[in-house]
Amino acid sequence: MANQERNTEATDDAIMSSSSDYNLYLPMDIIFDILNRLPVKSLLRFRCVCKTFRQLISNPTFISSHLLHHRTPITTATIFTFTHRTTTSLSLLQSPSSSQNPINLVHPFSNHTRNLHLIGSINGLLCLCLCLSNHPLHCHRRSLLLLWNPATKLFKSLPSPTIQIPSGFFHLSYGFGFQFHSSTSSSDYKVIRIVSFNLQTRVEVYSGISDCWREIQVMDLRFYSHKLSCEVIVNGAPYWLLPNPSNHCICFTWFDVQNEAFVMLPGLDFSRLYIGTSVHWKLMDWKDNAAVVVCCPGNPFFDVWMIEDHCGGESNWCKKFVIGPVFGVERFCVLQCTKNGEIIVADAWERIFLYNPRNGETKDIPIHGVQFEAFHYVESLVSIEGFRQQELNNQH
Amino acid sequence: MSSSLEKNMLILRSSDGEEFIVPEVVAVMSKAIKNMVEDECASNTIPVPNVDANILAMVIEFCKKHDESEAEAASDLKTFDSEFVNRGQEALYDLITAANFRDVKELLDALCQNVAEMIKGKSVHHIRIQFLGYQLFEILTSNFIWNIWCDRDFD
């Protein structure tokens, strides 16, 4: 039966190629509109319907229009990274509010699971960092960076970075950024690599268009992140935490992808605000704004701080919302705010829950592991020059 | 000259000559008709070529519902939309052509969404038949029958 189906398709192909000017039954803009509404999985299959479909589905205008149509609060999914025993896994939760179970994602180098880090997720592209050496001390000296689209199963290994890590003590951090050139209506994806050693910080940027690393000059940036990845990516710009040993103030910087420069944010001083309590805070993407979410153990409410611009051109942090009470989750901390306004929280035993602030309900998310992180993800057809197909023999 | 009642009503004439009296607010949901009315190139009767009475009646029904239910719950309208567009393939294509040609955005949206839902899980073969028209389908099937016939003759 399957053979027969294949045979008819083969005949169709012959007819397609012999008569290139067949008529589509519907006008082209309607076909565009209909295909625009389809999920990536269907579009990948429909590429072999005919030449017109194939051209349309790989057209950059169609790809960005498709992304725009699907980047809605309801269709934005969440990717979790977590560690179970020594294995780091990626899990995709299509829609947190539905009762669907998370899907395990098989990345292109799935035999390297020990030291896998998800640097960021932008427009359906994931930036992964894999450590090739099993020795913990040499872990970050030999690592592989990947850009990967899990929906189209295409990926690319980035060329080796140029800044060598010296022997001795060092800090290393990566960021992932996106930039849209409105003049040429083209987009570029960039990976930022920050190496700090001997009170010196060097930064290099990989650009998807030029396909190479280039060192940029940074003035006076004291940087020693304890995390391999940036804290959060908001509107395509990665954010990092900056050390400030003098007081209890926390400082942030974000990378302006277009101008390739770091921009400082005002410091947020916790010591005066939360006197006598230990606080757990996290920088996150709160509906396309950078926000600091502060939880205090034992307090069922949490605070959301955002940068507010004042009329004098000055900007400062201010407490925007107090959300809660979150009941039934002991000593919780907030992991992420989903695009449709639900909150992903983890309790003291690293169990994951979904809290809906509209009705106060909490729901268990069935993923088990430790060291959870949550990223926004939207399925897309976005690709980068040099992408190649991922081998799928590891998938069940 | 014209009374207020007439002023608020328009007559649409389908390709097969049937006339429909519809309120102007409903008729102007079609951008094409709206432009005609605004440019004052529309007389009392507006011809709607390429759209037959059957399809025109459907389009008017859709526009009326959307005009009335402006204040109604969005979910009700959504249910109406999904029921409205749930038709046979031929009527669906005629409706799409009419909505596209007359530029009725809401209807076109609902129809495209419906087609997308319909074809989401379909095979490549199905899509070829649906999108590449009956023409190609006929060529394929007639070739197929012809081949069988030939085989029989020479055997």
User: Which DSSP string do the residues of A305-349 spell out, in sequence order?
Assistant: EEEEE-TTS-EEEEEEEEE----S-TT-EEEEE-TTS-EEEE-TT
Same domain? For A75 and A191 the reply is: yes
Residue B3 has pLDDT above 50, yes or no: no
Best-predicted range by mean pLDDT (A1-5, A98-102, B18-22, B79-83): B18-22
Contact B116, A37 (CB under 8 A): yes
**Residues B116 and B144 both lie in one domain:** no
Q: How many domains does chain B have?
A: 2
Both B98 and B129 in one domain: the answer is no
| DSSP bridge pairs for A215 | A204
CA distances from B42 to A245, B22, B50, B124 (A): 76, 14, 18, 45
Residue B7 has pLDDT above 90, yes or no: no
Q: Say whether both B35 and B101 belong to one domain.
A: yes
pLDDT score recorded for residue A5: 43
* Look-up of token digits 């001997």: A198
Claim to verify: residue B129 and residue B58 sit in the same structural domain: no
Structure confidence at residue A207 (pLDDT): 94
Task: Please report whether residue A112 resides in a domain.
Answer: yes
| pLDDT score recorded for residue A2 | 43
- Distance, in angstroms, between B5 CA and closest chain A CA? 37
Residue B92: pLDDT band with limits 50, 70, 90: confident
Residue A245 — pLDDT band, cuts 50, 70, 90? low
Determine the average pLDDT of the residues in B124-132. 73
| Domain limits for position A328 | 69-389
Distance, CA of A375 to CA of A339 (rounded, Å): 11
Mean pLDDT, residues A379-390 taken together: 92
Average of pLDDT values for A62-68?
Answer: 94
Count of structural domains within chain A? 2
Own/partner pairs, A356-359, CB within 8 angstroms, 24+ separation: A356/A97, A357/A323, A357/A324
Question: Is residue A64 situated within a structural domain?
Answer: no
d(CA A54, CA A63): 12
More confident residue, B77 or A30: A30
Chain A residues close to B123, C-beta within 8 Å: 5, 45
| pLDDT at B1 (0 to 100) | 39
Task: Give the mean pLDDT of chain B.
Answer: 75
CA distances in angstroms from B96 to A33, A52, A83, B50, listed in the order given:
11, 20, 50, 12
Same domain assignment for residues A243 and A207: yes
Q: B123, A27: Cβ pair inside 8 Å?
A: no
- The arithmetic mean of pLDDT across residues A379-394, rounded, is 85
What is the domain-level CATH number for residue A225?
2.120.10.30
What is the arithmetic mean of pLDDT over A349-356? Answer: 88
Chain A residues whose beta carbon lies within 8 Å of the beta carbon of residue B127: 46, 49, 53
Closest-CA residue to A166 (of A193, A141, A142): A141
CB-based contacts of A391: which residues, under 8 Å, 6+ apart?
A: A108
The pLDDT assigned to B131 comes to 66
Distance CA A343, CA A3 (A): 49
Are B31 and B94 within one domain? yes
- Pairing outcome for strands A261-264 and A280-285: unpaired
Residue A63 lies in a domain: no
- Closest by alpha carbon to A194, among A126, A240, A232, A147? A240
Q: Are residues B90 and B129 in the same domain?
A: no
Whether the CB of B131 is below 8 Å from some CB of chain A: the reply is yes
Tokens 């009326």 locate to: B64
The reply to whether B96 and B130 lie within a common domain is no
Sign of CA dihedral A127, A132, A138, A144: negative
Q: Is the pLDDT of residue A384 over 80?
A: yes
What is the H or E stretch that residue B8 is in? helix B4-8
- Determine the pLDDT at residue B36: 82
Instruction: Specify the pLDDT at position A370.
Output: 86
Residue A246, C-beta contacts closer than 8 angstroms, at least 6 positions apart? none
Across residues A364-384, what is the average pLDDT?
90
Measured between CB atoms, which of A22, A23, A26 is closest to B93? A26
Q: Does position A158 have pLDDT exceeding 90, yes or no?
A: yes
pLDDT range class, residue A132, cuts 50, 70, 90: confident
Report the pLDDT averaged over residues A335-358.
88
Residue for token pair 């994931």:
A126
pLDDT at B6 over 60: no
Residue A133 has pLDDT above 80, yes or no: no
Both B135 and B97 in one domain: the answer is no
Q: Which of A189-193, B38-42, B125-129 has the highest mean pLDDT?
A: A189-193
Contact B110, B100 (CB under 8 A): no
Q: What residue numbers bound the domain in which B72 lies?
A: 4-121
Q: Check residues B153 and A207 and name the one with the higher pLDDT.
A: A207
Which residues have a Cβ under 8 Å from the Cβ of B90 and sit 6 or more positions away? none
HSE-CB at B83 with a 13 A cutoff on CA atoms is 8
pLDDT at B135 over 70: no
> Which chain A residue has its CA at the smallest distance from B122's CA?
A42
Judge whether A248 and A194 are in contact, CB under 8 Å: no
Q: Quick one: A173 and A87 in the same domain?
A: yes
The answer to whether B146 faces chain A, any CB pair under 8 Å, is: no
